[in-house]
């Protein structure tokens, strides 16, 4: 198994684990905060997907932030929500959001799951279009927090970030289900 096949398998596994976790949460629990100032499972899912979009489409593929999967998929229009300009640095990925910004994020589970599927499909298309050499080539980008960087590093970040937050989503959903809020 080469590096691309390994990364593809890890993306598939993380994505399926995330999907399985989210689909088990009823919509009303999905958008409920487990306590004051704590993020609901739906917001954490949104955050995971927005970071995935940034990692793959903006950092690896070099697209503009407003040309990411969220915008190309029509989710800004469908959900009447523009993430860019929100949070720390206006990144729109969920970092540094105020409680009001968290509450403004649409947590429509079905729409977010379609966004998730679009990201998964676009990630596989990226794997199909890129060589192993390109994955490991130093690149620079004005959108990057590191200069230079390798696309492979951002793919590994997306996988580990997704896996980390699966546990958070499960924990929050459990707190809400048990009524600990």
Reported as a single tens digit per residue, the pLDDT across 125-152 is 999 999 999 999 887 655 555 567 889 9
Residue-wise pLDDT tens digits, 106-116: 999 999 999 99
**Cβ distance 94 to 46 under 8 Å?**
yes
Candidates 128, 131, 177, 154; CA nearest to 62 is 154
Residue 31 predicted with pLDDT over 90: yes
Confidence of residue 97 (pLDDT cuts 50, 70, 90): very high
Question: Can you give the three-state secondary structure of the chain, one letter per residue?
Answer: CCHHHHHHHHHHHHHHHHHHHHHCCCHHHHCCCCCCCCCCHHHHHHHHHHHHHHHHHHHHCCCCHHHCHHHHCCHHHHHCCCCCCCCHHHCCCCCCCCHHHHHHCCCCHHHHHHHHHHHHHHHHHHHHHCCHHHHCCCECCCCCCCCCECHHHHHHHHHHHHHHHHHHHHHHHHHHHCCCC
Residue-wise pLDDT tens digits, 4-25: 999 999 999 999 999 999 999 9
**Domain assignment present for 36:** no
**Whole-number pLDDT of residue 145:** 54
**Cβ distance 62 to 126 under 8 Å?**
no
Domain that holds residue 75: 3-24+45-166
**Domain assignment present for 37:** no
**What's 154's domain CATH number?**
1.20.120
What domain count does the chain have? 1
**Domain assignment present for 175:** no
**Domain assignment present for 100:** yes
Of the chain, the percentage scoring pLDDT greater than 90 comes to: 83
**Domain assignment present for 101:** yes
**Domain assignment present for 178:** no
Confidence of residue 55 (pLDDT cuts 50, 70, 90): very high
**Domain assignment present for 140:** yes
Mean pLDDT, range 162-179, rounded to an integer? 95
**Domain assignment present for 151:** yes
């Amino acid at each position: 198994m080469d590096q691309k096949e390994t990364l593809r398998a890890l993306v598939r596994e993380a994505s399926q684990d995330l999907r399985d976790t989210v689909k088990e949460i009823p919509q009303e629990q999905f958008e409920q905060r487990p306590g004051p100032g704590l993020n609901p499972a739906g917001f954490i899912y949104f955050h995971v997907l927005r970071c995935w979009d940034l990692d793959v489409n903006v950092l690896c593929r070099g697209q503009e932030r407003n040309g990411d999967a969220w915008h190309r998929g029509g989710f800004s229009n469908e959900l009447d929500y523009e993430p860019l300009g929100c949070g720390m640095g206006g990144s729109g990925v969920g970092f540094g959001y105020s409680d009001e910004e968290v509450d403004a994020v649409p947590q429509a589970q079905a729409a977010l799951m379609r966004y998730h599927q679009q990201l998964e499909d676009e990630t596989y298309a990226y794997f199909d279009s890129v060589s192993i050499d390109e994955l490991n080539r130093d690149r620079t980008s004005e959108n990057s927090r590191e200069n230079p960087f390798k696309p492979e590093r951002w793919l590994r970040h997306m996988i580990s970030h997704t896996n980390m937050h699966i546990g958070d989503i499960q924990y929050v959903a459990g707190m809400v289900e048990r009524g600990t809020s």
